[in-house]
Amino acid sequence: MSSPEPFGTRLRQAMDARGPLCVGIDPHASLLAAWGLDDDVNGLERFTRTVVEALADRVAVLKPQSAFFERFGSRGIAVLEQAVAEARAAGALVLMDAKRGDIGSTMGAYAEAFLRKDSPLFSDAVTVSPYLGFGSLRPALDQAVLSGCGVFVLALTSNPEGAEVQRATASGGGSLAQLMLNHMADENAGADPMGPVGAVVGATLGVAGVDLDINGPLLAPGIGAQGATPADLPGVFGDAVRNVVPSVSRGVLRHGPDAAALRAAAERFAEEIRVAVGGA
């Protein structure tokens, strides 16, 4: 059996072909209401299907937030399973925003849920938390390589509360976030065009203040509703900006339920990002 194409290669190809943009699928109650939908499984399904049908054939990455589906129980998970399959069939890479973190066999089970090819929730990548120790992520890292998938590890997040942990001094000196980034760089060493282990680094940080040269993708939430703009990306990410995957959710989703408006918003963000990154 031939080895799967590495995630870093697939992601670079997708961003080069479709533009460096990730659009979140975040069907929270207020957004469903803004679309004129009920906060129930039917509303969830209509919202999700509209987003997937409008964007999956043109954006590089779609990022469903698992929690907004889980809150409806098994019927919500069924909607998520369908969305993942349809988005991937249309050519988008699916990044499952699950932020899982645990140890041993439990971490292994999370990895199988999202990164094993025969799983109903099989995605191209998943977000994870390293704050039980980077080594606790080993089952997910190994499964990702086996399946040709990616793992995005929380490093410096866009929420202000994150700094009390992420900026704390690690035992060897330097910040805890930098320690995690160093581990990611080790995992990606030698990969071309980039490795499968990405970092989550908020676009709202102004200046990251850490070494982001991890030879892997950098998921950058915070553009749009949280206040960051594509023009902020070079200042935050510096020389690593070409590996940035900027993530926009409400900035695109607020234009629904009109599919043409969703597509136009995504295209505007993608073009603004191209200009910002190209000029870095």
- Catalytic sites, residue numbers: 99
Residue 237 and residue 248 in contact, taking contact as beta carbons nearer than 8 Å: no
φ, ψ of residue 150 in degrees (nearest 5)? -120, 160
DSSP output for 44-75: HHHHHHHHHHHHTTT-SEEEEBHHHHHTTHHH
For residue 102, give the 3-state DSSP assignment: coil
φ, ψ of residue 184 in degrees (nearest 5)? -60, -45
Question: For residue 279, what are the CA distances in angstroms to 19, 213, 231, 235, 241?
Answer: 15, 19, 10, 11, 10
The 3-state secondary structure of 119-173, one letter per residue: CCCCCCEEEECCCCCHHHHHHHHHHHHHHCCEEEEEEECCCHHHHHHHCCECCCC
